[in-house]
Amino acid sequence: MWLAIVMLALALTQTCALAADRVEITIIGIDGEIHENARASLSLNQQQHREGLTEARIRRLHEKAPEQIRLAMQPFGYYRPQIISSLKPVGAEQWQAEYKIDPGLPLLITRLDYALSGAAADDAEFLSGISSALLHEGAILDHRRYEQLKSVLVRQAAELGYFAARLTEHKITIDMQNYQSTVLLHFDSGPRYRFGRVNFNQDTLDPALLSRYTPFQPHDPYSLMQVIELQQALNDSDYFNAVEVTPDLKNLADIDVPIDVQLYPRKRNKYIFGIGYGTDTGARAKLGWEMPRVNRSGHRLETAYKISHIGDSITGTYRIPTGNPVTDQFILSISNSSEQTTTSDSSKNIIGASLAHGRGRWREVLSVNYQQEQFTVGNDEGQSSLLMPGINWTRVWGANRIEIRRGARLLIDVRGASDAVLSDTSFIQGRIYAKTILPIFEQSRLIVRGSAGTSYTPQFAELPASVRFFTGGSQTVRGYRYNALAPQDSAGQPIGGRHLLVGSVEYEQRLDTDWWAAIFHDTGNALDDFNGALNDGAGIGLRWRSPVGPIRFDLAWALSEPGTPWRFHIDIGPDL
């Protein structure tokens, strides 16, 4: 019985294969989308897999093919093609159909009667959105572009608040005798509607706070992008489980459109637990508790305990939204941490305050931290108290920081202290970090990053470990231990440097949907003098786009070390 079933299956498979191969169709003289549309329109092609495809039926379908090809070419502006068709047997129950096509001259738009009326006729924003879709006299009559223009007009009107817009006249007239065409397209936009009152449906936060998330004012011209911007800002605020923003077109006040915002708050408490691994830190874990909404003013409380192979920390942060709550906040923080690496031991307590706000496309953070640190670095050992004011600016180019084809990140940071103000020593320190991601080919990209830092202090030995420069590890110079690159003391122990230089270039090639291969070269060092030698590292790696974000596996060789020893690095984190 099983043998009979297998033989029947083989017979059916062979029958299908023979049916699929019975007619070989060749179309010569056209290519691209016109060729694809012509082939798809052929009944002979559509019925290749049907049962009962007899010789008589093949011949009938072949006779219909020239007319089907002509009709398929018309949307592209070709109305007078010359088609020579042939059908011949090429084997037992197998046929070859060939269609040689001279497309002829395309039909041009002889006369274009295009008119845009209403408020949109003088709206630069509306006009810029349709400019690429406009038709022109003398151009090929491409029906797709005609339909595209109609769609763009309707879509642009809906996105910019022309809710009474309509196509008043639209048709194409073709004169085959004189081989001419006329395109008629009239569009009346009507008035542009404006934003009306924003109604926040919720009872958890102060309406005055929510109104500061709104990127528009009452009576501003309506824009769908600003509606989406409001929804994204409220979603990103972390106050709500769900946000629904809807224009209320049923209750218009003249041309003002009310905006209804339905908000579903998060639970009052949020608990966080995570585990991970990195070759710089070893195994690590995080336990956190947050109150996303302490009060109606939107204050937020966050606490976290982190532990890893090289140390642990506990932090508390209190955030108060200010100005534009999307970008601006006042932050109070307190932390206790300890770190024990192969180059230094450090234990510190920090209490601080910072003010973060947007400055154009930059994010600026002004801060002041009071830090007490007990440290051991090589032969340097001591206790340090520092009151450190600082400022940093950050800008990110690119919409998706997790995985991106083209983007960049730039960070500039300055901080310092004075022994005249609650500090044991004086210093000023600046640092810059830049990273750029560029597409090279369709399935590859180039990643270039670099950082530089410098410190000025009359008493370097008084600086704690956290203020000295070290480098080496999975995120800086691969092939070397974490923070192993720095000037050394008489015993050969890294003690940190006054300056920092690090650079890297990396090429990634996609292997499949989730895996990439990489080759890279890193160079850098922490230095007492910018003329000091840099250490080189190079290697190969794999990248996995995991559900929790990109994971990088790197095998790197320390090219500047005797014998070029190798190290394996694992790193998890976003591209930018």
Residue 257 β-bridge partners: 195
Cβ(191)–Cβ(162) below 8 Å: yes
Q: Do domains 20-102 and 270-572 have the same CATH topology?
A: no
The CATH T-level fold of domain 111-188 is: Ubiquitin-like (UB roll) (3.10.20)
The C-alpha atoms of residue 572 and residue 474 are separated, in whole angstroms, by 10
Just give the CATH number of 194-265.
Answer: 3.10.20.310
DSSP letters, 3-15, are: HHHHHHHHHHHHH
- The torsion angle over the Cα atoms of residues 209, 213, 215 and 220, rounded to 10 degrees, is -40
The structural domains of the chain, with segments of one domain joined by +, span 20-102, 111-188, 194-265, 270-572
Average pLDDT over residues 97-111: 96
Strand 566-572 relative to strand 194-201, pairing: unpaired
Average pLDDT over residues 391-405: 84
DSSP state of 132: G
Sequence-distant (6+) residues with CB within 8 A of 511 are 517
Residue 456 pLDDT greater than 70, yes or no: yes
Rg (CA), the chain: 34
Average pLDDT over residues 20-47: 90
Residue 16 pLDDT greater than 50, yes or no: no
274 to 245, 271, 318, 513: CA distances (angstroms): 33, 10, 21, 26
Tokens of 476: 């800086």
Residue 9 pLDDT greater than 50, yes or no: no
Span 292-315, pLDDT tens digits: 999 999 999 999 999 998 999 999
423 to 347, 387, 427, 431, 463: CA distances (angstroms): 17, 6, 10, 21, 11
Cβ(278)–Cβ(571) below 8 Å: yes
Task: Give 20-102's CATH code, choosing from 3.40.640.10, 3.10.20.310, 3.40.1190.20, 3.30.70.120.
Answer: 3.10.20.310
pLDDT at position 2, please? Answer: 38
Span 254-277, pLDDT tens digits: 899 999 999 999 998 999 998 888
Cβ(448)–Cβ(415) below 8 Å: no
In terms of Cα–Cα distance, which of 313, 374, 310, 373 is closest to 342? 310
pLDDT at position 501, please? Answer: 98
Collapsed DSSP state (helix, strand, coil) of residue 157: helix
Cβ(195)–Cβ(217) below 8 Å: yes
The C-alpha atoms of residue 125 and residue 24 are separated, in whole angstroms, by 52
Average pLDDT over residues 140-163: 96
The CATH T-level fold of domain 270-572 is: Porin (2.40.160)
